[in-house]
Amino acid sequence: MKSMESNGRHVPRLVVIGGGTGLAVMLRGLKQYAVDITAIVTVADDGGSSGRLRSDMRMPPPGDIRNVLVALADTEPLLEKMLQYRFQNGNGLAGHNLGNLIIAAMMEITGDFTHAIQEVSRVLAVRGRVLPSTNQDVVLGAEMEDGSVVKGESRIPRSGKKIHRVFLDPPEPKPVQDAIEAIQQADGIVIGPGSLYTSILPNLLVKGVTDAIRLSQGKKIYICNVMTQAGETDDFTAADHLAAIYAHVGDNIFDVAIVNDKLPPPLIQEQYALEGATTVLPDVEAIKDLGCDVLVADLLQYQSVLRHDAVRLSHYIVELVQGCHSES
């Protein structure tokens, strides 16, 4: 396995794959460790500012990329607040996010989405690399259990129907080669947390990504969500999440799943129940039946919303990856 060297010590190469808020939260913890991070981020979003830029400029949506850049950036709090600022007024400007507009401007300057991300990363002193899983304009679709088809990432959870499978249009878009090479060279590959069907699977459905993961010698880790997502993973257990991934891209991908076993206070559970969300059940034996080891721990952190405790989660990830390297 290949690793970087720092003062004579191995620096593990860590690839994280996903999208959405959960990925950004985890990266804030991981960047505090001596690891070389490459984040591979979904480009299936079609809502809000990202959706408008995608339609107007025929570019991949920048929203999830922006969140990851900000999470990994070495910036002052005021600059971070500015990058995440969403305009409230202005004809054509209201609803747009400043960070999204900066990425869009850089794409026009450089002529390439991945190059634009690299340049914005340099300006923000990002700790690691941020890559889209594909540069192609892809649309996420879902075949529902009743046979109907819903197209558009933002529309799928709102359909009111149970998802049978998701797919990309065009199917198997061409991957970003740097992303494939990062996976091949990784000491650890972390998938999740994030929306199962709309953040995780769109990356794995890009041509060559899952094959590269399966062939990699790195430790392959799945981070299970702490809560179900209404309209997407209603009543799913931890094993159900894994089984859905395997149904789409084949089994035997992950070496270990990290699963939360802490229940939030009853009042918080009641608040989430109003949104149709419940705690994901850590059905450990069912996960093991899928050929995956399990690390179970209290991973909850509650501020205004329930999230993974980024510090604790990052500690477990780094321990697993360093353990894998010491055995290799």
From first to last of its 328 residues, the chain has per-residue pLDDT tens of: 344 555 556 899 999 999 988 899 999 999 999 999 999 999 988 888 998 998 888 899 999 999 999 999 988 788 889 999 999 988 889 999 999 999 999 999 999 999 999 999 999 999 999 999 999 989 999 999 999 999 999 999 999 899 999 999 999 999 999 999 999 999 999 999 999 999 999 999 999 999 999 999 999 999 999 999 999 999 999 999 999 999 999 998 999 999 999 999 999 999 999 999 999 999 999 999 999 999 999 999 987 889 999 999 999 999 999 986 544 4
Q: Does domain 13-42+134-323 have CATH number 3.40.50.10680?
A: yes
For the segment 180-238, what is each residue's pLDDT rounded down to a tens digit? 999 999 999 999 999 999 999 999 999 999 999 999 999 999 999 999 999 999 999 99
**Domain ranges within the chain, ordered by starting residue:** 13-42+134-323, 46-132
What's the burial of 274, exposed, middle or buried (CB within 10 Å: 0-12/13-18/19+)? exposed
DSSP 155: T
Q: Using alpha carbons, select from 55, 61, 77, 56 the residue that is nearest to residue 20.
A: 61
Q: Give the Cα separation of 32 and 321 in Å (integer).
A: 15
The per-residue pLDDT for 302 is 87
Contact at 8 Å (CB) between 222 and 198?
no
Beta carbons within 8 Å of 273's beta carbon, 6+ residues apart = none
The per-residue pLDDT for 328 is 44
For the segment 117-135, what is each residue's pLDDT rounded down to a tens digit? 999 999 999 999 999 999 9
What is the pTM (predicted TM-score) of this model?
A: 0.92
Q: Give the Cα separation of 244 and 239 in Å (integer).
A: 9
